[in-house]
Amino acid sequence: MSRYARQMALPEIGADGQALLASARIVVVGAGGLGCPVLSYLAGAGVGSIKAVDPDVVEASNLHRQPLYSMADIGKPKAEAARRALAGYNPEIQILAEVQRLDPANAASVCNGADIVIDAADSFAVTYTLSDHCRTSRQAFVSASVLGFAGYAGGFCGSRAPSVSAVFPDLPVTAANCATAGVSGPAVGILGSLLAQMALNCLLGLEPSPLGRMVSLDLRRLTTSWFSFADAPEPEHGFRFASVQDITDADLVIDLRGGDETSGLVSTGAHRSTVDGVDALAGQARNHRTILCCRSGLRAWNAGLRLQQAGCSDILLIALG
């Protein structure tokens, strides 16, 4: 037990708390900038079973903020590279790797049996998909997002906390990402470490619980804030993400991707449109289940808002990546 002696010296952990960690199962979706510190600190803490889920491969541009990986890992799947690194770091625990993209079709199987689900993917679609799943399954869910020097981490769902939709009922009209706006490596590391601590606090049953609380950090200005959203109501008219497999012949399918993104459509019979152009399809949408598709889910969300304003109610979103 010398490996865990320093944390077992904390009265909040001790031998009983260490036993709780050893029996815990955590799923971490995303093995990138946020996922690397999450996975490292959970493995270091002795969490018994950790599953890393990520579809991507290591790139040279990742290395400034993803210290689990080395030059030798470039081109290799992140989930597998993380598993190898963590197994060398702590051989006493179980590390699982799944090289796949998280979507509504596999969310239940990916998260099955987990005590806590951690969203380290920094993706609108993944966040809302996991939140919807955890709200139904009553699994604890912690999620973070970071851009530039700033970000947040929060605890959701479980048996007593609202979902992500209760805090963020709407997405922005436009949004940058790490590739277009840049990101600070230490900022990602701090937010990822905060995610890991929130997950450990949940496992140990520490109060106040992270579930229903959010912490925001601005590391350029060195400011921090937090708030509780434990009593936030769930929105009445939110959107749900779906998978390509959910499309049927009876659906009205609208593909919002441009010709520069893809030469084909998501399905036979789909309509190609822009966000502004969906108004012309509102008449059909009022009489059919409507599925809106784009790369990240952001355009689909905003197109869905336009159709809702036009009286359409049965709307699903698909993020195609």
Catalytic residues: 178
- Choose among 93, 97, 99, 146: nearest CA to 119: 146
Residue 144 forms beta bridges with which residues? 153
Structure tokens at 273: 């449109």
Task: Tokens 């990240």: give the residue.
Answer: 296
* DSSP secondary structure, 233-267, as one string: PPPSS--EE--GGG--TTSEEEE---TTT-SS-SS
Q: Are 111 and 27 in contact (CB under 8 A)?
A: yes
- Choose among 234, 217, 108: nearest CA to 161: 234
Cα 65 from chain centroid (whole Å): 18
- Going by their DSSP bridges, the two strands 290-294 and 140-147 should be labelled as unpaired
Structure tokens at 89: 């770091």
The side-by-side arrangement of strands in the sheet containing 150-157 is: 94-98, 49-53, 25-29, 116-119, 140-147, 150-157, 213-218, 223-228
Residue 166: Cβ-neighbour burial (10 angstroms; 0-12, 13-18, 19+): buried
- Taking the CB of residue 251, how many other CB atoms lie within 10 A of it? 18
* DSSP secondary structure, 5-18, as one string: HHHHTSTTTHHHHH
- Taking the CB of residue 274, how many other CB atoms lie within 10 A of it? 12
172-178-184-190 Cα dihedral, nearest 10 degrees? 70
Dist CA 318 CA 266 (whole Å): 10
